[in-house]
Amino acid sequence: MPLYRDEAVVLRTQKLGEADRIVTLLTRRHGRVRAVAKGVRRTGSKFGSRVEPFMHVDLQLHSANNENGSGLDIVTQAETLGPYGEAIAADYSRYTAGTAVLETAERLTAEEREPSLRLYLLVVGALRSLADGEHTPSLILDAFILRALAISGYEPVLSGCAVCGEPGPHRAFAVGSGGLVCRDHRPPGAAAATPDGIELMLALMSGDWANADGVEPKVQREASGLVATYLQWHLERGLRSLRFVERSLVERP
């Protein structure tokens, strides 16, 4: 398989040598792939603008198993499917939330070349939504994180107690136990959760935007805090981009 074709979202780019970049891709069929895009930092590059973060592209790649020695595939063609980069970079709140989406996707794909179609589709959806400006960027991020964790087998328990199943409402959220817990199963250090915060997380989980948009900033911050703590607990080390995400709502266009 010297040449292959796939659709992908560009998760990250790093400079390589004089004019090349290493691009980390989340592909539709081949999972997370790292590849070299040659000459993309120079004037007149055919596809420099298409292999930038947030871009949704149709790629042709040259497989590394074909004695080019670097161990990385090489991008030979790129066509734009969704030019989300421009609209995301033009709004700082979208940019910071979008970067956290990309980093979360990268971190949840532990192994290279392990296909995860559902995560791929979720990333594309989140980026499209950010670019369209449909909802508050930080809420799009929180919805993405909750669903991405669910796909990875870490869906937080938001109804009954995560330990004994006793029906709620419960007021304590324990990341180590997997979600809400009853009074009896509340470990020391569990976070407090309000009914509004829990309702918002449920709405984000199910894509119920009518009930998620317009929720008070205070409640949004509470849900964001719980989502972030829950995510970081499931990753070995913290997400770098999370502390830069803009949580305030003043910048809503």
Indicate which single residue of 31, 53, 179, 197 sits in contact with another protein (rule: CB under 8 A): 53
Q: How far is the CB of 154 from another protein (least distance, A)?
A: 22
Q: Which is nearer to Zn ion, 182 or 228 (CB)?
A: 182
Phi, psi of 156 (to 5 degrees): -70, 140
> Residue 41 and residue 74: Cα distance in Å, rounded?
15
Per-residue binder mask for another protein (CB under 8 A), 72-91, x = binder? -------------xx-xxxx
Indicate which single residue of 26, 40, 64, 119 sits in contact with another protein (rule: CB under 8 A): 40
Q: Is 235 in the site for another protein (CB under 8 A)?
A: no
> Residue 89 and residue 82: Cα distance in Å, rounded?
14
Phi, psi of 44 (to 5 degrees): 80, 10
Q: Per residue, what are the HEC states of 67-89? A: CCCCCCEEEEEEEEEECHHHHHH
Indicate which single residue of 49, 77, 80, 194 sits in contact with another protein (rule: CB under 8 A): 49
**Residue ranges of E strands in 83-127:** none
Q: Is 246 exposed, middle or buried (0-12, 13-18, 19+ CB in 10 A)?
A: middle
Residue closest to 175 by CA, chosen among 101, 103, 234, 243: 234
Q: Which is nearer to Zn ion, 114 or 166 (CB)?
A: 166
Indicate which single residue of 5, 113, 183, 243 sits in contact with another protein (rule: CB under 8 A): 243
Rg (CA), the chain: 20
Q: Is 51 in the site for another protein (CB under 8 A)?
A: yes
Stretches 145-153, 154-162, 190-198, 244-252: which one binds another protein (CB under 8 A)? 244-252
Q: Tokens 């998620």 map to which residue? A: 212
Q: Tokens 């006793």 map to which residue? A: 166
Q: Which is nearer to Zn ion, 161 or 204 (CB)?
A: 161
Stretches 100-108, 153-161, 174-182, 213-221: which one binds another protein (CB under 8 A)? 100-108
Positions in the binding site for another protein (CB under 8 A): 12-13, 15-19, 40-45, 47-54, 85-86, 88-92, 95-96, 99-100, 102-103, 240-241, 243-245, 251
